[in-house]
Structure 1
Amino acid sequence: MSTAAIFLDRDGVINQDTGYVSKRDDFIFIEGVMDAMKLLKQKGYQLVVVTNQSGIARGLFSEDDFIRLTEWMDWSLADRDIVLDGIYFCPHHPSEGKGADTKECYCRKPAPGMFLEAIADLDVDVSASYMVGDKVSDLQAAQAAGVAHLVLVRTGKDITAEGEAMAEAVYSSLTEFAQNIPALV
């Protein structure tokens, strides 16, 4: 049976976006985000992280660095009884960098690849699902994948007029979003 999901961008939604976050010392959970994620799980949603990580293509950090940090983030959440249903990332950039990850791809937001993969893997009901991001490309990718509800939060990038027009709602934080969406259960 399909279940609704909350798709979450990472930098600017879950953690402070200080630019190419790749080390534990630089990863700072946004205040209240763990409680918000716990509430979303209690309301019956799957939690799925979808994150562009062009720092890999740019040579700023390795894929192994990203995986180590992601494991630490996942364990930190699990210590608070928050289980992520999926974590999807794109290591590519279309023009920056020199390695194999410097290429056009179908996974880098605003393309829908990460979403489509998660939808298939997790049997997501897109008609009841949400994308919570901090920029237009997050919303464009979700929309292209058929995710029904597009939401921005003000904890990351500045909200543009285009983003505000595209979003169903703009919240101050993931906490405010979690408090205001209906429970599935």
Structure 2
Amino acid sequence: MNKIVFLDKDGTLVEDVPYNTDPSRIKLCPGVPEALRLLQQQEYKLIVASNQSGVARGLFMEEALLRVKQTLDRLLRKHGVHLDGFYYCPHHVNGTVSRYAMKCTCRKPMPGMLIHGAVKHGADLAASWMIGDILNDVEAGNRAGCRTILINNGNETEWDYRSAKRIPTFIANDMLEAARLISTSIMPGYTQTTSAGEQVGT
């Protein structure tokens, strides 16, 4: 079976600009190209899993996310990296656009996007990872059955460990460190060696 590294987008792959869909403001975070090349060399499929409640809040149309995907593809292609999937959740229970204003199973910390990606790509979730910059990303990965890495870049401010599902396998300072942790992990039955830690749509 295949193995996947699921990647949060804002604050993990690209600089965190809230509700941004302007291609000119999409910038890769430091170390991202090198990290993703390393993961590709390890034969991981790379899939974005991103909450995009700006759709439900009426801040931009769902179609705007196609431009985001195309921009991200272009930026990564310059570095010899390709994405195998780009999934997003447009919903929010407090949204103002009625068709998106709902409680769903795809918005992280729920695992819907990850489960969908694993089924579509024939992947073993136990052999896969979720990388993100907040504990909702970690919880989504743990709920799906992945191992998880939190990028400790200051975007997680609450540190709410209300359940064991919010505890990451590793904590890393940036994407390159996260990729190195994955590449040196033993699987299955790995030993933790450090405490540091497709189409658009769902």
State how far apart, in whole Å, the 1-side matches of 2:102 and 2:182 are. Answer: 37
1:68-89 per-residue CA deviation (whole Å, 9 max, x = no partner) reads 1111111221232211111110
1:100-159 per-residue CA deviation (whole Å, 9 max, x = no partner) reads: 111111111111111111010001111121110111211211222121x11100236136
Matched position secondary structure for 1:63:
coil
C-alpha distance in 1 between matches for 2:90 and 2:97: 13
Checking the alignment, whether the CA contact within 8 Å between 1:16 and 1:156 is kept in structure 2 is no
The answer to whether the 8 A contact 2:135-2:156 is kept is: no
Calculate percent identity across the aligned residue pairs: 33
Residues in 2 aligned to 1:114 and 1:180: alpha-carbon distance in whole angstroms: 23
User: In the alignment, what sits opposite 2:156?
Assistant: 158
Matched, 1:172 2:173: yes
Contact 2:26 2:71 in 1 (8 A): no
Matching residue of 1:23: 22
Q: Give structure 1 stretches of 5+ with no counterpart.
A: none
Q: Alpha-carbon deviation of 1:98? A: 2.8
Residue 81 of structure 2 corresponds to residue 86 of structure 1: no
Distance (Å, rounded) in 2 between the aligned partners of 1:26 and 1:56: 18
- Quick one: distance in 1 between partners of 2:112 and 2:156? 25
Equivalent runs, 1:6-85 vs 2, <5 Å: 6-85=5-84
Query: What is the identity, as a one-letter code, of the residue corresponding to 1:144?
Result: R
Q: Alignment partner of 2:48: what SS? A: strand
Give the aligned partner of residue 196 of structure 2. Answer: none
Name the TM-score, length of structure 2 as normaliser.
Answer: 0.83
Matched residues in 1 for 2:104 and 2:90: separation? Answer: 10
Structure 1 distance, partners of 2:129, 2:137, is: 11
Give 1:181 shift. Answer: 2.3
Q: CA RMSD in A?
A: 1.9
Inter-partner Cα distance in structure 2 for 1:81 and 1:44: 14
Aligned partner of residue 59 in structure 1, secondary structure: coil
> Number of matched residues?
182
Q: Which runs of 5+ in 2 are unaligned?
A: 187-202
Question: What's 2:119 paired with?
Answer: 120
Aligned partners of 1:17 and 1:153: how far apart in 2?
13
Q: In the alignment, which residue of structure 2 is the partner of 1:137?
A: 136
